[in-house]
């Protein structure tokens, strides 16, 4: 399903946000804040930029997406269901016993999930491996890895950044969902990671910055990153935790607290 209109992409993002709220409300457990902040970026990827085939999840030439901040999988699940990878009814089983939709994505449960993630800091290393495999196999696919800003505090990420640069994985693009909130508070107060732009550049990366909620700009920068040759690319996206739901926006408590019945109704109303 490809959408070229920015308005269509924005509408799709609202639909995905509604599904996120509904499934988290039913489960009573999960992470709304980071799922909502990443929605626009993931919608632009899956509905505009990436190449894939829901009827053939393991198509060798597909683009790959690794959700390194795996706790934000409600956004990924909502998108995959909408694209037809599995029935939408399964969204109601989020975090239930024996459900394929666990609290962190598992590639053994859903073929469209490229890597099991959850322990923060590992996704970029996985992405490096997939990107290098693509070069060895002479494939033209592109690898996208979404990282959280709090996740940038993990040492493994910086080792992986050096690896990407050393092997010139220009078929890899990292996306940092920078909403400046993590479970313990502001990223800038827990452990400052800025200036990310300068740090990535010093590691040999091509750096792009974007408003992570301005669809037109997101689409444009994704195209630029894909075309960059000779070095890996990173998109540092400034986002808002809980984006789209007024009482969740920039509220750290909604990092991992789901809405109650009243809050769910209010959130869904706002997202109409």
Q: Which two tokens stand for residue 69?
A: 């901040």
At residue 143, the pLDDT reads 98
At residue 85, the pLDDT reads 96
DSSP assignment letter at 152: G
Domains defined along the chain, listed by start: 6-270 (3.40.50.970)
- Helix ranges (DSSP H) in 148-255: 155-166, 187-190, 196-202, 215-227
At residue 118, the pLDDT reads 87
At residue 2, the pLDDT reads 86
At residue 205, the pLDDT reads 98
Q: How many CB atoms lie within 10 A of CB 41?
A: 26
The Cα–Cα gap between 272 and 260 comes to 18
Collect all residues with Cβ–Cβ distance below 8 Å to 205 and sequence separation of at least 6.
161, 164, 165, 174, 231, 232, 233, 234
Residue pLDDT, tens place only, 132-141: 999 999 999 9
Q: Which two tokens stand for residue 27?
A: 């489960």
Neighbouring-strand partners of residue 237: 177, 210
177 Rama sector, left if φ>0, alpha if ψ -120 to 50, beta otherwise: beta
Name residues of the chain where pLDDT drops below 50: none
């Amino acid at each position: 399903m490809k959408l070229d209109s920015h308005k269509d992409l924005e509408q799709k993002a609202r639909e995905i946000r509604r599904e996120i709220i509904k499934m988290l409300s039913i489960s009573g457990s999960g992470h709304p804040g980071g799922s909502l902040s990443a929605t626009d970026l993931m919608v632009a990827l899956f509905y505009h930029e990436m190449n894939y085939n829901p009827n053939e999840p393991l198509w060798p030439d597909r683009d790959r997406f690794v959700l390194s901040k795996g706790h934000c999988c409600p956004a990924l699940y909502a998108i995959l269901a909408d694209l037809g990878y599995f029935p939408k009814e399964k969204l109601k089983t989020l975090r239930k016993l024996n459900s394929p939709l666990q609290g962190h994505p598992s590639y053994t449960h859903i073929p469209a999930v490229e890597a099991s993630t959850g322990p923060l800091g590992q996704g970029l290393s996985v992405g490096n491996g997939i990107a290098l495999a693509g070069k060895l196999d002479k494939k033209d696919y592109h690898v996208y890895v979404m990282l959280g800003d709090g996740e940038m505090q993990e040492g493994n990420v910086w080792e992986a950044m050096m690896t990407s640069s050393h092997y010139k994985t220009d078929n890899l693009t990292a996306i940092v969902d920078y909403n400046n909130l993590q479970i313990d508070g502001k990223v800038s107060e827990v452990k400052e990671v800025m200036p990310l732009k300068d740090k990535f550049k010093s590691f040999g990366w091509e750096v792009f910055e974007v408003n992570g909620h301005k669809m037109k700009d997101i689409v444009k920068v994704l195209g630029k990153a894909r075309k960059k040759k000779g070095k890996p690319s990173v998109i540092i996206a400034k986002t808002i935790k809980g984006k789209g739901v007024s009482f969740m926006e920039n509220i750290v408590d909604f990092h991992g607290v789901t809405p109650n019945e009243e809050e769910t109704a209010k959130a869904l109303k706002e997202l109409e």
